[in-house]
Amino acid sequence: MLDHRQPTRLANLWDASRTAGMSEPERLLYRSNLLGSDKRITNYGGGNTSAKVIQPDPLTGDEVEVLWVKGSGGDVGTIRMDGFATLYMDKLKALKALYRGVAHEDEMVAYLPHCTFDLNPRAASIDTPLHAYVPKPHVDHMHPDAIIAIAASADSKALTEKIFGSEIGWLPWKRPGYELGLWLEKFCMENPQARGVVLESHGLFTWGETAERCYETTIEIINRAIAWFEDSAAGPAFGGEKTKALPADRRRAVAARLMPVIRGLISGEERKIGHFDDSDTVLEFIDSNALEVLAPMGTSCPDHFLRTKIRPLMVDFDPATPDIDAAVTGLAESITAYRKDYEAYYERCKRPDSPAMRDPNAVVYLVPGVGMITFARDKATARISAEFYVNAINVMRGASSVSTYRGLPEQEAFDIEYWLLEEAKLQRMPRPKALAGKIALVTGGAGGIGMATARRLAADGACVVLADIDKTALAAANAELCEAFGKDVVRSVDLDVTSEEAVLAAFTDTAAEYGGLDILVSNAGISSAAPIDETELSLWNRNLGILATGYFLVSRQAFRLLKTQNTGGAIVFIASKNGLAASPNASAYCTAKAAEIHLARCLALEGAEFGIRVNTVNPDAVLRGSKIWTGEWREQRAAAYNMAPDELEEHYRKRSMLKLSVLPQDVAEAVYFFASDMAAKSTGNIVNVDAGNAQAFTR
């Protein structure tokens, strides 16, 4: 069976009542979004769609034929109208006169902008000639797992014929580009009855007279492939189970141990973010008899290996006799071996004009009995790389069930990976933000300062884990940050910083979600007021528990994680002006805050040799958004100054030297400074963010 975990057949989702009043480009958009909504039809960012539309030329008013085709970048599932490139068909046809042959096909890409219709700024993709030269009004090019399973089989041509007869043709592997466009045109001319064509090691082309017919054909052909695999596969997938997976919580715990070590070993100039996937599809593959044969063969489809590298790294771990320490120790050796292999591959295949070797580290790490770990420059890329490897697993499952699975020949794979046009695309990518690839854990993350800090770090590219004891506020904060920065870069954990067990769990979660840690902002806090003779032991203990012990517990765990990773780190304590300056009737609070400040200094001393910097930010009277400044404490402070609670902020403003209110975002800026490389040479320091208070001057 190809994939027994979802309803196997694709549904025809075309709704004619919705498309009735649409223009042809709108119907193309509708069709594209429908196709892209199911990853079994095409993988993320893979595939493209087109329509040839007659419309008036903006300059002459003459009716001209325009190719609307998905432009460079983006995904058909989420594409909008501005994602399509538009080109004059007559000019695209005229390009044939300029074509000097396959050795020069890459130069044709530079002509595409000259064919632009209506000054459309969307760049045309490398696949444009494939759509232009298929002499049909509507064309879909998809990368369905079920078709690629045929395309990646040793006898892919014979299989295509067996399943589809003369309805669907077959073309041998050819890198997408101008030449493949001409092949497709020739195929259509010679096979007028064909409704599509399978491209070896690549995917599917289908076409139709109308947008709806084209869509129906695409769905029908993929469904036929799915059905055929269901009927033909003999025996269990991947030759049956070889090992049993560990229980889910153990899998996650093992991943959380391995990921920071891997991250430390592969993070050179660029920090990497991790992703862990132990879905049934992944476990079936990594626990199977066929793993050792199939995994080293590499992924078959260019789209797959551009994201996953050709081969995954196999982590030496036996779930039958699990020895996690041995697996951790073995990582350095296997990662070095992988890099050497990759360098050798580069040396074997490189051409005189090849771009310099890229990062030789693996993207995909398979851990038998545990799951798949991926690492990339950001979370979305790591997650998408994992999705692509799942596509590759589906392909290997299908191909190996009916035939012999075959990866792409090494040189072809290399030529795609180091294609100059791909290199140009990489060079055009925007420079990463200052905290890209960094992972931050913020305790008290749902409060005013915590949220402002998380926002500030995420705005500069960090992945942020919000930790808080207030579940309701945490859910709201999580939703707000996801909305602002996207779901990939925000996580939240329920955390009572005084519980050793909860602290361990929060760091395990952080490691399993993102692969490690770079920044800890210890911010969880409370406040209290009472004259010393009225201070109950429970109040004293509560202050010390959260502010001193809590800071100790999270710092200790951060140290353990950062030392495992061995790439330095930044710890920032949110203390208080009151840690430096005594304040009446708040001895428990002030003493605990002073303990925090001194703990930070001690940790700065211990962390230095590991590149771990520890600094303190002292806010004062940050009322807005603060959970501390609600209720009793606010009333107590107001009463102490003989005023109404809502007069407090103004009181503190006037009391400050600069006559300014201190806001959460002001504190966040100071945290950002210490957390970022701007403060790479600062440790053991204190910054007051209090609008000026002479009593708190450090000395």
Query: Minimum distance between the CB of residue 163 and Zn ion, rounded to whole angstroms?
Result: 20
Tokens linked to 634:
């606010």
- Closest by CA to 576, choosing from 529, 622, 641, is 622
436 CB-contact burial (10 Å; exposed 0-12 / middle 13-18 / buried 19+) = middle
CB of 347 within 8 A of CB of 280?
Answer: no
According to DSSP H, which parts of 167-312 are helical?
178-190, 211-232, 248-266, 280-286, 291-297, 302-308
Query: Minimum distance between the CB of residue 48 and Zn ion, rounded to whole angstroms?
Result: 7
The number of residues making up the chain comes to 699
Write out the binding residues for Zn ion, residues 194-253 only, by CB under 5 A: 203
Nearer to Zn ion, 177 or 203 (CB): 203
Q: Phi, psi (5° rounding) for residue 273?
A: -110, 140
Query: Minimum distance between the CB of residue 47 and Zn ion, rounded to whole angstroms?
Result: 6
Nearer to Zn ion, 143 or 252 (CB): 143
What is the sign, positive or negative, of the torsion defined by CA atoms of 643, 644, 645, 647?
Answer: negative
Nearer to Zn ion, 199 or 402 (CB): 199
Query: Minimum distance between the CB of residue 359 and Zn ion, rounded to whole angstroms?
Result: 24
* Alpha-carbon gap, residue 259 to 265, rounded angstroms: 10
Q: How many residues bind Zn ion (CB under 5 A)?
A: 1
Cα Rg of the chain, angstroms: 30
Tokens linked to 64:
């001209």
Query: Minimum distance between the CB of residue 130 and Zn ion, rounded to whole angstroms?
Result: 8
Q: Residue with CB nearest Zn ion? A: 203
SS3 call for 255: helix
Nearer to Zn ion, 71 or 203 (CB): 203
SS3 call for 604: helix
Nearer to Zn ion, 43 or 578 (CB): 43
Nearer to Zn ion, 48 or 543 (CB): 48
Query: Minimum distance between the CB of residue 105 and Zn ion, rounded to whole angstroms?
Result: 16
Mask for 124-143, x = binds Zn ion (CB under 5 A) = --------------------
According to DSSP H, which parts of 486-549 are helical?
500-514, 537-543
Query: Minimum distance between the CB of residue 207 and Zn ion, rounded to whole angstroms?
Result: 15
Q: What is the dihedral of CA 372, 377, 381, 383, to 10 degrees?
A: 30
Nearer to Zn ion, 45 or 437 (CB): 45
Nearer to Zn ion, 203 or 445 (CB): 203
Query: Minimum distance between the CB of residue 203 and Zn ion, rounded to whole angstroms?
Result: 5
Return the axis-axis angle of helices 648-655 and 632-640, rounded to nearest 10°. 60
Tokens linked to 227:
């059905």
Query: Minimum distance between the CB of residue 176 and Zn ion, rounded to whole angstroms?
Result: 6
* Alpha-carbon gap, residue 346 to 349, rounded angstroms: 5
Query: Minimum distance between the CB of residue 300 and Zn ion, rounded to whole angstroms?
Result: 13
Which residues, in sequence order, are bridge partners of residue 468? 494
Nearer to Zn ion, 151 or 662 (CB): 151
589 is catalytic: yes
CA 453, 260, 600: angle at the middle one, nearest 5? 45
Which residues, in sequence order, are bridge partners of residue 418? none
Tokens linked to 85:
């490139």
* Alpha-carbon gap, residue 278 to 472, rounded angstroms: 29
120 CB-contact burial (10 Å; exposed 0-12 / middle 13-18 / buried 19+) = middle
* Alpha-carbon gap, residue 255 to 285, rounded angstroms: 17
Residue bearing tokens 């005594």: 582
CA 406, 408, 410: angle at the middle one, nearest 5? 125
Query: Minimum distance between the CB of residue 504 and Zn ion, rounded to whole angstroms?
Result: 46
Buried/exposed 643-662: b ≥16 CB within 10 Å, e otherwise: eebeebbeebbeebeeeebb
The one catalytic residue in 514, 589, 652, 672 is: 589
Nearer to Zn ion, 203 or 447 (CB): 203
Checking phi first, is residue 583 left (phi over 0); if not, alpha (psi -120 to 50) or beta? beta
Buried/exposed 210-219: b ≥16 CB within 10 Å, e otherwise: ebbbbbebbb
Query: Minimum distance between the CB of residue 405 and Zn ion, rounded to whole angstroms?
Result: 19
Nearer to Zn ion, 91 or 174 (CB): 174
Mask for 490-529, x = binds Zn ion (CB under 5 A) = ----------------------------------------
Tokens linked to 533:
């003779």
Write out the binding residues for Zn ion, residues 650-669 only, by CB under 5 A: none
Nearer to Zn ion, 181 or 516 (CB): 181
* Alpha-carbon gap, residue 647 to 147, rounded angstroms: 69
What is the sign, positive or negative, of the torsion defined by CA atoms of 33, 37, 42, 45?
Answer: positive
Which residues, in sequence order, are bridge partners of residue 439? 463
* Alpha-carbon gap, residue 425 to 539, rounded angstroms: 60
Query: Minimum distance between the CB of residue 391 and Zn ion, rounded to whole angstroms?
Result: 12
Nearer to Zn ion, 43 or 567 (CB): 43
Mask for 367-386, x = binds Zn ion (CB under 5 A) = --------------------
659-662: long-range contacts (C-beta < 8 A, 24 or more apart)? 659/691, 660/691, 661/621, 661/623, 661/691, 662/619, 662/620, 662/621, 662/622, 662/689, 662/690, 662/691
Contacts of 174 (CB under 8 A, 6+ apart): 180, 183, 199
Residue bearing tokens 């973010």: 273
> Biggest alpha carbon distance in the chain?
98
Q: Catalogue the active-site residues.
A: 589
Give residues in contact with Zn ion (CB under 5 A): 203
